[in-house]
Structure 1
Amino acid sequence: MPTLLDLLQSLDEQPPEGLIYPAKPWTAASVAAVAALDEPPPGLDYLLEVDLVHDVLEVWSSWRDGARPSAAEKCEAVIHYAAYDAYLDVSH
């Protein structure tokens, strides 16, 4: 099964209406799945919608003068947004 990092690296291949479900605690190495389900797959918890993840990463990039996030930075930004309902500040 892919990790959260794997899914974020292949985000453009995921359905925009898909929901991302990683195992807790959320880390880049968490086992994860994308599904169009209201109920998470067994052992996984809802994180964010694929289209919202695109928004989170676009904001991350725009707040950093167009820089492209590394895989680790993608995970950090997405997990931060899911946990705090806020974009990751530039100071991170």
Structure 2
Amino acid sequence: MPTLLELLQSLDEQPAGAVIYAAKPWTAASDAVAVAFDAPPSDLAYLLEVELAQDVLEVWSSWRNGAQPNALGICQAVIHYADHDAYLDVHH
């Protein structure tokens, strides 16, 4: 099973309509899966929809003048959104 870090680095390759589930507590090293229509593994918790995670990263980039987050920055932004229902502030 991929880590959350690995899965988030391949967001564009995930199925349309897929939902990301990951082991808590959410970290870059958490086991993760993107599920389109199947039930998720029972040991993983809902994180975000793939499309919403992509939106989180677009906002991250937009708020930082087009910069792109590194792999850990991707995880940080997505986990922050999942935990707080808010985009990661520019000062983080």
> Secondary structure of 2:21's partner?
strand
Q: Which residue of 2 aligns with 1:15?
A: 15
Q: Which letter maps to 2:89?
A: D
Q: Which amino acid counterpart does residue 13 of structure 1 have in structure 2? A: E
Assess if the C-alpha contact under 8 Å between 2:16 and 2:36 holds in 1: no
Cα offset for 1:37?
4.4
Q: CA deviation at 1:41?
A: 1.3
Is structure 2 residue 80 aligned with structure 1 residue 80?
Answer: yes
TM-score, structure 2 normalization: 0.95
What aligned pairs does 1:1-92 form with structure 2 within 5 A after superposition? 1-37=1-37, 39-92=39-92
Question: Which has the higher mean CA deviation after the structures are superposed, 58-67 or 9-18?
Answer: 9-18
Identity of aligned residues (%): 70
CA RMSD of aligned residues (A): 1.2
Give the gaps of 5 or more residues in structure 2. none
Paired residue total: 92
1:14–1:34 Cα contact (<8 Å) kept: yes
Preserved contact between residue 21 and residue 32 of structure 1 (Cα < 8 Å) = yes
